[in-house]
Amino acid sequence: MVKLLIGSDKMLKQYKKIIIIAIIILVVLALASFITCIVLTPKLYLTDKDIDIEVNTEYKEPGYKSYVINKDITDKVKVKSNLNTDKVGNYTITYEIKYLIFNVKKTRTIRVVDKEYPAINLNGKEEVTVCPNTKYTEEGFSASDNYDGDLTKKVERIEKDNEIIYSVKDTFGNLTTKKRKLIYEDKEPPTIRLNGYNNMTIYLGSTFRDPGYEVTDNCDSNVANKIDVSGSVNPNQIGVYVITYKVTDDAGNTTEVKRTINVIYQNITHSGTIYLTFDDGPSSTITGKILDILKEENIKATFFVINKSDNLNYLIKREYDEGHTVGLHSYSHNYADVYSSNNAYLDDLNKISKKVNSITGINSKIIRFPGGSSNTVSKNYTKGVMSYLTREVTKQGYRYFDWNVSAEDAAGAKSSTEVYNNVISNLRHNRINVILMHDFENNYYTLNALRKIIQYGKNNGYTFSNITMNTPQITHGVNN
Ligand code: ZN
């Protein structure tokens, strides 16, 4: 029994050894496989794990790396993503690497956010000057956002305390405000624009007529009624006169403009003299108004009249009574009749001469041929008629006058400005200037240019006179 016991004790010891060895082996094996696992499991590294990006911007991969032992196997990483950068939200990107039996996964969260504020754009300035006691007229605005797009309709506009506050929120609550400052003041003085010249010259004995003015103001619409005109002109006294136009607007801004009027003697010499001549009148619409202007300007002119209507005879009478020259132009002014023969012209001349005589009592010997002495229209009716007539009328004691300046008012001038320019651009100081104009019906271009032409002449040292038998003759060359 004791032997057996001893024997079994030995066996027990033997078993223990075996078990210990087995455990050691197991532990070693486990350790070995654990180490193998650690070594052979791929490593996966992400740079910047979770990130926020602004909606509608491009996503830039921050990077990842994968290794096993020391070998770079990054190119074997599979990346899966449901990222949509156009839409706010959370998205996941999955990175997966497989190696042998090992499989490693990592994820990255991308939060697509809208942190950008909407933009408000104001039309006009952010600081606006507004006329006192008026309301600012909104110049407009717009708003846009990177996520919502056009937000103009959602802009709230509040006007208070001399400023306007514009505010708008985007879908994600980003709030933008912008202000426009209103400055209620008027520092701009009114504008006075004088009609006519600032420096005028008028002849002694003429009538001074203020050509007027225009007043405007940026704020004060009633400013025209506030103008104060001071100073006066005595046209019967040589001298320099000043008229002052002064106006102050509602806000107290003042403007003052002066006009100087020079009253001078009319010094008549032949050179530089302007002879205004009016053909084809009288007319009911124009002639009387021309006479009014000539009277006011104290100027004498010459009218080459035709037979219009006996109802207008009073105008020929007025021309004569007011000191102008009444010249003879034609009775019928019909080229086909007048130039049908030498005698036809002389008959026509005789008829208008008699008419003028019956109205004025004078025998006018100052004439102008229909179409002028250089006309070619007469060729259509009688060859050589002008060569004959220019000699014949002179023989009979007439003096015929053509012109050396034409207003072109019967030949295509399209405005009073054109008439004015046609005349003034051809005036010369070193000669006499005989100006062809017309006072036929409705010739408003000439009527409206006349005062400016006279003003120009006076301001530029010309004198005005009417044609008399002593006036040097201005004639064209004869063409028929
Ligand atoms: Zn004519």
Q: Quick one: 395 and 293 in the same domain?
A: yes
CA distances to 30, 103, 144, 432 from 436, rounded to whole Å, are 130, 111, 68, 13
Q: Quick one: 401 and 288 in the same domain?
A: yes
Q: Which of 78, 113, 148 is the last residue of a domain?
A: 113
Q: Quick one: 375 and 288 in the same domain?
A: yes
In a domain, 7, yes or no: no
- The 3-state DSSP class for residue 436 equals strand
Q: How many CB atoms lie within 10 A of CB 309?
A: 9
How many angstroms does the Cα of residue 297 sit away from the middle of ligand 1? 25
How many angstroms does the Cα of residue 438 sit away from the middle of ligand 1? 8
Q: Quick one: 284 and 381 in the same domain?
A: yes
Q: How far apart are CA 480 and CA 473, in angstroms?
A: 20
CA distances to 94, 327, 351 from 65, rounded to whole Å, are 13, 114, 121
How many angstroms does the Cα of residue 407 sit away from the middle of ligand 1? 13
How many angstroms does the Cα of residue 322 sit away from the middle of ligand 1? 23
Q: Is the peptide bond before 370 cis (omega within 30 degrees of 0)?
A: no
In a domain, 475, yes or no: no
Q: Quick one: 195 and 161 in the same domain?
A: no
In a domain, 3, yes or no: no
What is the phi-psi region of residue 129: left when phi exceeds 0, alpha when psi lies from -120 to 50, beta otherwise? beta
Q: How many CB atoms lie within 10 A of CB 286?
A: 23
| Token representation of residue 50 | 């979770």
How many angstroms does the Cα of residue 386 sit away from the middle of ligand 1? 15
In a domain, 179, yes or no: yes
| 470 contacts: CB under 8 Å, gap ≥ 6 | none
- Antiparallel, parallel or unpaired: β 71-72 and 78-81: unpaired
How many angstroms does the Cα of residue 303 sit away from the middle of ligand 1? 11
Q: Quick one: 103 and 152 in the same domain?
A: no
In a domain, 334, yes or no: yes
How many angstroms does the Cα of residue 477 sit away from the middle of ligand 1? 18
Q: Quick one: 225 and 286 in the same domain?
A: no
Q: Quick one: 342 and 460 in the same domain?
A: yes
Residue 194 in contact with residue 259, Cβ under 8 Å?
A: yes
Q: Which of 264, 290, 305 is the last residue of a domain?
A: 264
How many angstroms does the Cα of residue 217 sit away from the middle of ligand 1? 48
Q: Quick one: 286 and 241 in the same domain?
A: no
Q: What burial class does residue 125 get, using C-beta atoms within 10 Å of its C-beta: 0-12 exposed, 13-18 middle, 19+ buried?
A: exposed
pLDDT, position 160: 87
Q: Which of 166, 184, 202 is the last residue of a domain?
A: 184
How many angstroms does the Cα of residue 369 sit away from the middle of ligand 1? 8
In a domain, 27, yes or no: no
How many angstroms does the Cα of residue 166 sit away from the middle of ligand 1? 72
Q: How many domains does the chain have?
A: 4
DSSP β-bridge partners for residue 78:
96
Q: Quick one: 225 and 361 in the same domain?
A: no
How many angstroms does the Cα of residue 428 sit away from the middle of ligand 1? 24
Q: How far apart are CA 117 and CA 133, in angstroms?
A: 36
Which residues constitute the domain of residue 47?
Answer: 43-113
Of the CA atoms within 13 Å of residue 407, those in its CB half-sphere come to: 29
How many angstroms does the Cα of residue 329 sit away from the middle of ligand 1? 7
Which residues, given as ranges, of the chain have pLDDT below 70?
A: 1-7, 267-269
In a domain, 355, yes or no: yes
Q: How far apart are CA 459 and CA 386, in angstroms?
A: 39
Q: How far apart are CA 134 and CA 182, in angstroms?
A: 11
How many angstroms does the Cα of residue 331 sit away from the middle of ligand 1? 10
How many angstroms does the Cα of residue 185 sit away from the middle of ligand 1? 61
How many angstroms does the Cα of residue 371 sit away from the middle of ligand 1? 6
Measure the CA dihedral 254/257/258/259, to 10°: -150
- The 3-state DSSP class for residue 63 equals coil
φ, ψ of residue 108 to 5 degrees: the values are -130, 135
* DSSP H or E stretch at residue 385: helix 385-395
Q: How far apart are CA 452 and CA 447, in angstroms?
A: 10
Ligand 1 is an ion; residues with CB less than 5 A from it:
279-280
Q: How far apart are CA 377 and CA 337, in angstroms?
A: 12
How many angstroms does the Cα of residue 247 sit away from the middle of ligand 1? 49
CATH code of the domain containing 234 = 2.60.40.10
CATH code of the domain containing 344 = 3.20.20.370
In a domain, 38, yes or no: no
| 430 contacts: CB under 8 Å, gap ≥ 6 | 271, 272
Q: Quick one: 230 and 123 in the same domain?
A: no
How many angstroms does the Cα of residue 335 sit away from the middle of ligand 1? 10
How many angstroms does the Cα of residue 336 sit away from the middle of ligand 1? 13
pLDDT, position 1: 46
How many angstroms does the Cα of residue 298 sit away from the middle of ligand 1? 26
pLDDT, position 267: 63
Q: Quick one: 314 and 223 in the same domain?
A: no
Quick: pLDDT tens for 137-160: 999 999 999 999 999 999 999 998
- Sequence length of the chain is 480
